[in-house]
Structure 1
Amino acid sequence: MKFLGSLYRFSSSWVGTICIVLFIILFVAQAFVIPSGSMRVTLLEGDFLFVKKFSYGIPTPHIPFIEVPVAPDSDGDGHLFQGKRPQRGDIVVFRYPKDEKIHYVKRNFAVGGDEVIFDLDNFYLRPNEGDEFIEQNYDKSDIVILNGQKYVKEPYKFKGINYNPHFRNAMRASMLGNLERKSLAMRPIMVAESEKVYEYGSVKFNAFYIKVPQDEFFMIGDNRNNSGDSRYWGTVPYRLIVGKPWFTYFSIDPDKKIRWERIGRFIDTLQSDESLIYEQK
């Protein structure tokens, strides 16, 4: 009882309050705001989220804003304690591979060993478990043959995933521009079963391909035609995984109007409740 009394007095003090808040921020939950439209219409610009930092282990804590680590990462895996890895289809918060002080949020399309094809109109997944796994876990109408192998066309059925036609030409130009600069993570291929043929210089192709390295993840935005993601800057290693979005604690639209209907909603609700999935603008 004496210990509990001392603990209560400590937690009631200014020092105790600061310690508790820091513990929560460093190890439990961290505030995050959606800065861009890459996850629209599942997550919207101006959604303020709490990120559950213990979803995939305990990441090495960093001081907020300046992002300086406060504990050594002796084994180089970016975590104090490892945990389960992001699953296919999870929405994940991670550190941007090109600048690890910046946090991104995307959907995990593929895990290590998976193969991904993007034909500029659709994504296709070949899980590393192979044909039998595909047949047992995916709808037969979604299974297609590409270069003689079974793939799953658009395996995730969340309502917010979309190909906004307003950005289709810009996305294609961006893919081709990055291909010319040799800064595209995916490589051009010819898919025999497709009648499309694109030419860029001396290169003929009709799709882009990548095989995800082990313990890395292929992250893409739900707003497929307007998202800077793993197509461009590559896969995300486990050491950069921070956590999973938890719930929205605030939401405001570009006109500074509060979106009351989104406040307090868990992410699973935001991606499955059609009344909360806004139309494209």
Structure 2
Amino acid sequence: MNFALILFVLSVVTGILYALDVFKFRKLRAADAAQPLWVAWGADFFPVILLVFVLRSFLFEPFKIPSGSMIPTLLVGDFILVNKFTYGIRLPVLNTKIIALNAPKRGDVMVFRYPEDPSLDYIKRVVGLPGDTVAYVNKKLSINGNPVPAQNLPDYQHGERLYYSQQFSEKLGETEHRFLTDADAPAYIQGVDFFPHRENCTYNASGVICKVPPGHYFMMGDNRDNSRDSRAWGFVPEQNIVGKAFFIWLNFNDFGRIGAFK
């Protein structure tokens, strides 16, 4: 569902009703006359709908985490806020950038439209920038030939289940974060698609090496053996960027997670 388009249409329709009422029909009504239904249920909602449209399109947009691909950073059920202007001002609905601001950095947690189905929003971590060579071989990450050091942490327990993953800490750019791997998961990348610029990637039994094309980004989930990401479906074009995730504002299962991520 294209919620931005729905909000845009509602803003236009209620805006027209509002303008008709203010500039024409309100002047024709008697001072003590009751408002017609089209005013009460249409024009009067215009300021509220317009405010929501502007806030959601240009400032902040809420998202709910639907999967475990970003564990341990983000959990299923987390409600997060996404900064829509960090990477530039874009026209709503068209998503065309009109004012360039900051570029994504390695380590950013970014929301973007899934390249294979732009109607879906995905969230992953920026690992590779345009021009980078990203290698994920034998579950070890390196960028431009430089291994990314990982420090061992205590194993991560998934909720209340007796299921544990290996947990590590690493630093991408200025961002230090945790990630998980499963000892029994294979190193090779499963279910690889035929995506644009696939010729930039080399796959073997040990993993994958990709050269990120200009204007694209290489994304990975922090739950690395349980995330389908750029390793399988390719690069994220710049025009698919939605914004930078920065805050957990609610989790009905754990109120202590509010504000746990930035």
TM-score, scaled relative to structure 2? 0.66
One-letter code of the match for 1:228?
Answer: R
Q: Structure 2: any 5+ residue segments left out of the alignment?
A: 1-43, 151-169
What is the CA–CA distance in structure 2 between the aligned matches of 1:61 and 1:88, rounded to whole Å?
A: 26
Question: Identity over the aligned pairs, expressed in percent?
Answer: 34
What is the CA–CA distance in structure 1 between the aligned matches of 2:135 and 2:118, rounded to whole Å?
A: 27
Report what 2:261 is aligned to: 267
One-letter code of the match for 1:259?
Answer: D
What is the CA–CA distance in structure 2 between the aligned matches of 1:116 and 1:55, rounded to whole Å?
A: 24
Report what 1:118 is aligned to: 136
What are the superposed Cα offsets for residues 8-38 of structure 1, whole Å, 9 maximum, x if unpaired?
A: xxxxx64322221211011111111111111
User: 1:33-44 counterparts in 2 under 5 A?
Assistant: 33-44=64-75
What is the CA–CA distance in structure 1 between the aligned matches of 2:102 and 2:238, rounded to whole Å?
A: 10
What is the CA–CA distance in structure 2 between the aligned matches of 1:240 and 1:123, rounded to whole Å?
A: 25
What is the aligned counterpart of 1:87 among 105, 111, 115? 105
What is the CA–CA distance in structure 1 between the aligned matches of 2:119 and 2:214, rounded to whole Å?
A: 23
What is the CA–CA distance in structure 2 between the aligned matches of 1:182 and 1:14, rounded to whole Å?
A: 46
One-letter code of the match for 1:260?
Answer: F
Q: Structure 1: any 5+ residue segments left out of the alignment?
A: 1-12, 63-68, 128-133, 143-153, 190-197, 199-205, 253-257, 269-281
What secondary structure does 1:158 align onto?
A: strand
Report what 2:235 is aligned to: 235
Whether contact under 8 Å (1:124, 1:155) holds in the other structure is: no
What is the CA–CA distance in structure 1 between the aligned matches of 2:191 and 2:53, rounded to whole Å?
A: 44
CA-CA distance at 1:177 after TM superposition:
4.6
What is the CA–CA distance in structure 1 between the aligned matches of 2:141 and 2:171, rounded to whole Å?
A: 8
The number of residue pairs the alignment matches comes to 196
What is the CA–CA distance in structure 1 between the aligned matches of 2:251 and 2:111, rounded to whole Å?
A: 18
Alignment partner of 1:50 is 2:81: yes
Whether contact under 8 Å (2:110, 2:123) holds in the other structure is: yes
CA-CA distance at 1:122 after TM superposition:
1.3
What is the CA–CA distance in structure 2 between the aligned matches of 1:106 and 1:176, rounded to whole Å?
A: 18
Whether contact under 8 Å (2:107, 2:176) holds in the other structure is: no
Whether contact under 8 Å (1:85, 1:238) holds in the other structure is: no
What is the CA–CA distance in structure 2 between the aligned matches of 1:219 and 1:14, rounded to whole Å?
A: 40
CA-CA distance at 1:188 after TM superposition:
2.5
Whether contact under 8 Å (1:32, 1:49) holds in the other structure is: yes
